[in-house]
Amino acid sequence: MADGNNFKFDRRSILESLGTAGVLIGISGVTSAAPGRDPGPKNSELIVGVDSDSSDIEAELSSRLPANAEVVHTNETLSYAAVSVSDEDGRPTKETVREDLLGADTVRYTENNVTYRTLEMTPLDSNATASDSEGDGDDAAPLYTPDDPRYGSQYAPQQVNCETAWEKTLGDPSVTISVVDQGIQYDHPDLEGAVSDDVSNGGSDFVDDDGDPYPMSASESHGTHVGGIAAGGTDNGTGHAGISNCTLLSARALSGSGGGSLSDIADAIQWSADQGADVINLSLGGGTPTDLLAEACQYAYSNGSLLVAAAGNDYGGSVSYPAAYDSVVAVSSLDESEHLSDFSNIGPEIELAAPGTNVLSSVPWDRYDSYSGTSMASPVVAGVAGLTLSAWPSLSSEELRDHLTRTAVDAGLSDVEQGSGRVDAGNAVTTEPGSSPDPDPGRCGDEVTSASVDGEFSGGWWGDSNDTFTYQLETTDPCRAIVSLEGPDGADFDLYLTLDGRTPTTVNYDERSVSQSATEEIPVDLTGNETLGILVRRYQGSGTYTLSVEERGR
């Protein structure tokens, strides 16, 4: 087989040259669902994984099934079948059927066809229309400012530094982002130029099996909103600005209720990979890992797709699946102040953070609305991945993943909250792959001033656990400052910072660094002669610490 880079090129060539014939390639190995199989959650079904060399999955399993059970769906590529078990008195239960199937030599695993759901909070303004809230924008913006009339009402593209990235690329349409979600309104004014025309109706429908991933009602808005964040038309004079102008694929796997079965989602991920999707966005999740979803994600990742998923909205709970799988980039949510969104899940699986609170995007029918959730943060990262691949098309999925984390920006959060940091489109697009971005990107001069102070907390928990300081910048024209803290081994100190001289607290601050360490650092860009307010907080341990400020002028 060709290496990763050449394989990626070949996959794109297939998409561009085959047109609707690509659909036939993409669904190879997936057998259509039996007539009457309900859309959405499928609680009466079992997933049965079989050996990959099984020649006839349905025939092998059917001989072991009782009269109240039948194979209703198979996927030869992922080597599994869905078995429906009806609840009838005197007949074997689903658990009995599961145990019997596990006795077959060719069966690798059995599990319930569980339901995964969208990871979106309640929308802010469900009555927003295409003519409302056009936004004023910033007429003095020095970088690339798109002409989308709602751009001034947005903050997510600006927060992840899209304007710097857009100076180089708005996104290459040959880069494809598949949205496994509810259906996308592919004729929305801000999306009709973004959704792929290389496949019928811009994607595939795994919910109703009718080939058309169009949303069924205005309430089925999640997929349109997610797609608009990642790749809504930018600089097209219409509506809002998406992160990129890459091409969207719509893989409808969630019903109008927001839920989708494990089998439909797994099929949609496999289909996306077979279509040649460079990036697959999964703004959905659940609390339980499953064999089938893990195998579907690994299949896509092994075939060159970068998978990006929402961490979950359980207010600090553990990272949801599929985001928690090693093959998937888990994304937490930030608000407009770059604080962790209160609803966002956290954990060691988090790789990147992105804006997910009150994010403006497209919704049916031809409207716009602001939603919150890690569902919104995930497509921001997916869109930045698309921009990055547009600028550096030779990157493999593994290299792209590494580059996004390497160029992320520290938001002053712990590793379990932000991973490598807040994703940064400008850094990712302008930084040579394999290197790190310049911490002072050409704006700061040679004038450097440094100062430090030593402090010591009293022993025990009954002493004062906070020390505060005020620092007046001394350079003529301040450009950047780095506030750093070094404490004794085994201690856990936190650092909080304000830029207007007010005394920071643990709930009132501009920047913070709170990793589980005695060493913390906060870099900040400066615009004038600010006075810094600094809080050193002892979380655990005591002893002497050194607080330092290094400032640089223009």
Are the beta carbons of 333 and 351 closer than 8 angstroms?
no
Are the beta carbons of 61 and 237 closer than 8 angstroms?
no
- The SS3 of residue 387 is helix
H/E stretch holding 16 reads helix 4-18
Handedness of CA 312, 316, 321, 327 (dihedral sign): positive
Are the beta carbons of 444 and 464 closer than 8 angstroms?
no
- How far is the C-alpha of 246 from the C-alpha of 177, rounded, in Å? 7
From residue 44, how far is each of 13, 34, 85, 207, 262 by CA, in Å?
Answer: 41, 14, 6, 16, 12
Q: Own/partner pairs for 98-106, CB < 8 Å, 24+ apart?
A: 98/46, 100/64, 101/46, 101/48, 101/61, 101/64, 104/60, 104/61, 104/64, 106/50, 106/51, 106/54, 106/60
Q: Tokens 């929402």 label which residue?
A: 310
- How far is the C-alpha of 407 from the C-alpha of 430, rounded, in Å? 10
Q: What is the DSSP pairing of strand 306-310 with strand 279-282?
A: parallel
The number of C-alpha atoms within 13 Å of 186 and in the hemisphere containing its C-beta is 22
H/E stretch holding 350 reads strand 350-355
Q: How many CB atoms lie within 10 A of CB 503?
A: 15
3-state secondary structure 99-134: HHHHCCCCEEEEEECCEEEECCCCCCCCCCCCCCCC
The span from the first CA to the last CA of the chain, in angstroms, equals: 52
From residue 535, how far is each of 191, 471, 523, 527, 528 by CA, in Å?
Answer: 47, 11, 15, 21, 21
What tokens were used for 510? 């501009």
- How far is the C-alpha of 277 from the C-alpha of 445, rounded, in Å? 43
Distance of CA 497 to the CA centre of its chain: 28
Distance of CA 6 to the CA centre of its chain: 26
The number of C-alpha atoms within 13 Å of 165 and in the hemisphere containing its C-beta is 32
- DSSP class of residue 286 equals B
Active site residues: 181, 222, 375
